């Protein structure tokens, strides 16, 4: 089991106490592509932040790769994220001070298992898989939205993580780029045995996912 979330409850305390997740449980196996959808404010992004270990202030149990997340210190959590979780967001979040290749390399440099040359080679391979090999030395802000999102996906894969968390990765793209990005994510689940948990409003994406979970007022409807 890659992901095991059980009875997750989450409250926002400001401006007044409000329950945003109500007993959410979710499991994901190797190779799963799970789409989470729901209205704005339904709690789907909050659930993703918890699943990605960025938000640890919740009630319930979360195990990733059989590791209870709540037992980890902040530093251990950071290392865990670095090694086992990849992120793709609606707004790609590439760093403008670095070129495309360097952006992809950053998580692997942090992990420190391979040397810089090996990491650079890995980054080139990923860029090639994304069809972006000609843009390696380019500053990230000089790319189109779809290109930047492909770089973000490459960056999420550089450490070969088991789990990819994607928060509306196509939300800012046109239909053509949306399908390119989704196809890439789906291919990752098939060829690289990654598990992808993705929030999306896009119905065509939902239809092509292995599993769809609807969040209504903080609760899951399967």
Judged by CB under 8 A, does residue 72 bind other proteins? no
Our CB check for other proteins shows the closer of 148 and 212 to be 148
User: Of 6-14, 93-101, 122-130, 211-219, which segment contacts other proteins by CB under 8 A?
Assistant: 93-101
Query: What mask, x for binding other proteins by CB under 8 A, covers residues 148 to 187?
Result: -------------------x--------------------
Sign of CA dihedral 99, 105, 109, 111: positive
Our CB check for other proteins shows the closer of 159 and 189 to be 159
Q: Cα-Cα-Cα-Cα dihedral of 70, 62, 165, 100, to 10°?
A: 20
Binds other proteins (CB under 8 A): choice among 75, 117, 137, 222: 75
Read off the tokens for 172.
């800012």
Judged by CB under 8 A, does residue 117 bind other proteins? no
**Which run of H or E residues covers position 88?**
strand 85-89
127 burial (CB, 10 Å; 0-12 / 13-18 / 19+) is buried
Binds other proteins (CB under 8 A): choice among 3, 33, 34, 52: 52
The residue among 201, 202, 195 whose CA lies nearest residue 28 is 195
Q: What is the DSSP string of 158-200?
A: TT--SEEEEESTTTTS-HHHHHHHHHHHHHHHHHS--EEEEE-
User: Of 28-36, 58-66, 99-107, 194-202, which segment contacts other proteins by CB under 8 A?
Assistant: 99-107
Residues engaged in binding other proteins (CB under 8 A): 45, 49, 52, 54-55, 74-75, 78-83, 87, 89-91, 93, 95-98, 102, 106-107, 109-112, 167
């Amino acid at each position: 089991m890659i992901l095991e979330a059980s009875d997750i409850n989450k409250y926002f305390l400001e401006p007044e106490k409000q329950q945003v997740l109500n007993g959410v449980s979710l499991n994901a196996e190797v190779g799963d592509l799970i789409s989470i959808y729901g209205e704005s404010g339904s709690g789907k992004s909050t659930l993703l932040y918890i699943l990605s270990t960025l938000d640890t202030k919740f009630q319930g149990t979360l195990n990733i790769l059989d590791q209870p997340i709540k037992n980890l210190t902040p530093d251990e959590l950071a290392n865990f994220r670095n090694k086992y979780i990849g992120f793709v967001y609606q707004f790609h979040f590439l760093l403008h001070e670095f070129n495309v290749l360097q952006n992809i390399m950053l998580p692997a440099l942090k992990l420190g298992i391979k040397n810089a040359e090996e990491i650079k080679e890995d980054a080139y391979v990923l860029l090639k898989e994304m069809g972006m090999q000609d843009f390696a030395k380019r500053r990230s802000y000089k790319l189109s939205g779809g290109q930047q999102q492909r770089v973000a996906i490459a960056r999420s894969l550089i450490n070969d993580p088991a789990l990819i968390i994607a928060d509306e990765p196509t939300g800012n793209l046109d239909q053509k780029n949306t399908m390119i990005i989704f196809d890439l994510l789906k291919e990752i689940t098939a060829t690289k045995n990654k598990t992808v948990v993705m929030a999306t409003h896009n119905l065509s994406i939902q239809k092509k996912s292995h599993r769809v979970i609807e969040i209504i007022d903080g609760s899951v409807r399967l």
